Amino acid sequence: MERITLNQAMENHLRAIHEALETNEWATTSECARRLGISSASVTAMSKKLSRLKLVKYVPYHGVQLTKLGEKSALEIVRHHRLLELYLSEALGIPWDRVHDEAEKLEHVLSEELEERISKSLGDPTQDPHGAPIPARDGTIDHVEYRALSSVEPGETVTLLRVDDRVPEFLRYLGSMNLYPGTVMKVITVEPLGGLLALRVCDKEIVLGSQAAGMIRVTAAAKAEQRQ
């Protein structure tokens, strides 16, 4: 598996593709465009380029999938990104709603030596501040089964495992209610039409909209071990 030199644009696209593939079989052009904040035409151009370099399988009008080589390359960036998020949060005290944007810039200029020292100084962690798994040095990554909180039935008790890290206001809102990865919560009621969710967390009642609940991933708490 040959070594390929990636530039910033390629790295951004690869990470976007990787993250799109966490929930879908194909990374569609428009999904990548949305994640990257660029036009679909630009994504198509990059899909062709990455395909030429054997980093993705590109099927016109369907989208892309990562090849083995592309997966490996993407995981290197993802590792950079998530290690940085944790380092910024733990070592420098940057609030969890701002680490994503910082990491997005730093991930491209992190040398392997610096990556290694950051990882060591954090004790080779396996989770970023939002509950996403940090790929290991060797390119392996935990594969956790999640459910969206919005799909949980009333009466169930679940553990918060992971939250979407891209919307600062959302993260600040969660933080204000002390909803972090590891938090155990019981779903009390689900509004039939709007999907409004009432939760009990440590004897306090919290109400979440369906959009917020869709950005929160949990697992069944019965078998779910406490984490963090």
Partner DNA sequence: TAATATATTTAGATATGTCTAATTATTTAA
Partner DNA sequence: TTAAATAATTAGACATATCTAAATATATTA
Question: Pick from DNA, Mn ion, a second copy, none: which does 192 bind, CB < 5 to 8 A by kind?
Answer: none
d(CA 120, CA 170): 30
Contact flag: residue 77 with DNA (CB under 7 A): no
Q: From residue 71 to residue 100, what is the string marking binding to Mn ion with x (rule CB under 5 A)?
A: -----------------------------x
Q: How far is the CB of 194 from DNA (least distance, A)?
A: 21
Query: Site size for Mn ion, by CB under 5 A?
Result: 4
Residue 77 φ/ψ, nearest 5 degrees: -70, -45
| H helices present in 91-193, as ranges | 99-106, 112-121, 168-176
Q: Which residues contact 128 (CB under 8 A, 6 or more apart)?
A: 81, 82, 83, 85, 86, 134, 165
**With contact defined as beta carbons under 8 Å apart, do 138 and 147 qualify?**
no
Question: Pick from DNA, a second copy, Mn ion, none: which does 113 bind, CB < 5 to 8 A by kind?
Answer: a second copy
- Could you say which of 2, 3, 25, 41 contacts DNA (CB under 7 A)? 41
d(CA 195, CA 150): 7
Q: How far is the CB of 32 from DNA (least distance, A)?
A: 8
d(CA 127, CA 142): 9
Q: Where does this chain bind DNA (CB under 7 A)?
A: 7, 9-10, 12-13, 28-31, 33, 36-49, 58, 60-63
Q: Where does this chain bind Mn ion (CB under 5 A)?
A: 12, 100, 104, 165
